[in-house]
Chains A and B, each alone.
Chain A
Amino acid sequence: MNCEWVQQNTALYLYDELADDARHELEQHIRRCQDCAAELAAQQDFQAQMNALPVEEPSASFLAAARMRLQEALETAQQNRAWYHRLAFDPMAWMRQVRFSPALAMVIFIVGFGGGLGAMYSVKGPATATAPPVEASIGGITSIEKEPGTDNVKVQYDKRMPASVQGSASDPKVQDLLLYAAKSNENSGVRLNSVDVLTSKADDPRVRETLTYALRYDSNPGVRLMALDGLGSYVKQDIRVRNAVLESLLNDSNLGVRSGALHALEPVRADSSVRMALQQLSKEDPSEYIRTESKRVLASMPNIY
């Protein structure tokens, strides 16, 4: 085994991709060869550096949003498929086969599926006989692209399709919607109702992640209080919940939320960050209530040496 081979395979060694015998020989070689040992160390350092861009699991609401969008598109695709099967003639297959004469004045391609997917119109020439989309059904225009040097325009838009689902809050479909609503809905009443239902499912880490998000970022103090209510039991066992509650105590603009956070942290007896925060608050907080309560909670905590 020579140095060139070893240096070309240090990455594979670190990724555990070498066969057992090759791994053994590489290890033996590195024990004897300083240059190759240095190369191994450099490769290790490089791989550690690359982890500064960590891979994160998609958040619950991100995944829920993606699933919802896909669900809408699949339902439309399923309907279209059923519709095509009822016809003796498949227009999409026909369009693939027919060759259009270049003398044709206009061609319209409708690609994709409605309901949640963008629909694309590529129009060459005058507008078509197909009815334009009804304004009330358009969710929003997402992009307009003009093809340079031509009259072609691609308009991508979303369509709204009201729908409902009913079932247990443990049903994954229902839960995905609740997680999405808790983070993304414009209506604070809807967010409040979502968080209310989700508090009973806080044993699920995905749900806790969404409740933590609501506690940190929701603009409505009622929603933040509701989320805090659901998270309170997890302050001791889940460090991310504890951090979020501590941040609320320190930074929330609403005294009721801060007070709730303070009481939620009472069972935490051994966290030095909590203790330090309480010490600071007991001396410097502008609210007398927070100062008094912080002192009381500190007094009940055992000393940590």
Chain B
Amino acid sequence: MVGQAQSRMNDTELIREAQRGNHAAFEELVRQYDGAVLRLAYHLTRSEQDAQDIYQEAFLKAYRNIGNFRFECSFYTWIYRIVTNLCLDLLRKRQVRKEDSGVTTDSEGGTYDLLDQVADQRSGASPERDLMRRELAANIAKALKKLTPRERMVFELKHYQGLKLRTIGEILNTTEETAKNTLFRGTQKLRAALKSVR
């Protein structure tokens, strides 16, 4: 009953309730955004474990800091800002350690090749087409590694997550124009990288 009442509240009311210590309100906020957060973290990191860690840290940070949320931006922007900063930290760490292989670990420690996700699971799919798709996905993964963490983040948010550049600018604490320029640079690098493997 309480849960149904909470779902009818808008974000502002939920946030205020969460700031007053209402745990159900905070959980309702989490549920509104957590699918999108996990989707972003997983597609960017290509690791179930890393995606879960980012998800966990993002919402714990939100929980700890919700008292400081002053409605200067939307909650959506605020949550995405937390998540993207965590993703950027991970990308920078990987760059230093030269990680980011094509092999991914799931949350139970098993490894699998993310490119298996690209395969067409329908019975009767063409093996040749499947192989081509996997090779292309491998080339794309290599090309993405050539971007700076920021370029990759902007490209991910624009191309894969479909956010508006204005929103991306807000999330990254910059201007829409800067986000546009970052997207342009990233796109040029990716096109050049993919051309060179053909």
Contacts and interface: CB of A to CB of B under 8 A. Distances in A.
Interface in A67-84: 67, 69-71, 73-74, 77-78
Contacts of B107: 62, 65
B95 interface: no
B97 interface: no
Nearest to A117: B56
A146 B190 CA distance: 37
B63 to A, nearest CB: 6
A74 B59 CA distance: 9
Nearest to A82: B21
A42 B59 contact: no
A250 interface: yes
A171 B133 CA distance: 40
Interface in A15-51: 15, 17, 42-43, 46-47, 49-50
B34 A63 contact: yes
**Interface size for chain B: under 10, 10 to 19, 20 to 34, or 35 or more residues?**
35 or more
Given A55-B39, A58-B39, A69-B52, A246 B123 contact: yes
A11 B56 contact: no
Contacts of A65: 52, 107
Interface string B157-191: 01111001100000000000000100110010011
Contacts, number: 109
Contacts of B133: 52
Interface stretch (B9-17, B75-83, B135-143): B135-143
Nearest to B59: A70
Given A66-B56, A70-B60, A58 B38 contact: yes
Contacts of A62: 38, 42, 48, 107
B187 A63 contact: no
Interface residues of A, number: 41
A67 to B, nearest CB: 7
Contact of A66 (B38, B137, B187): B38
B161 A55 contact: yes
A17 B165 contact: yes
B25 to A, nearest CB: 12
Nearest to A249: B123
A243 B121 contact: yes
A8 interface: yes
Give the 8 A-B residue pairs with the shortest CB-CB distance, closest first.
Answer: A52-B136, A58-B38, A55-B43, A52-B137, A55-B160, A66-B55, A66-B52, A53-B140
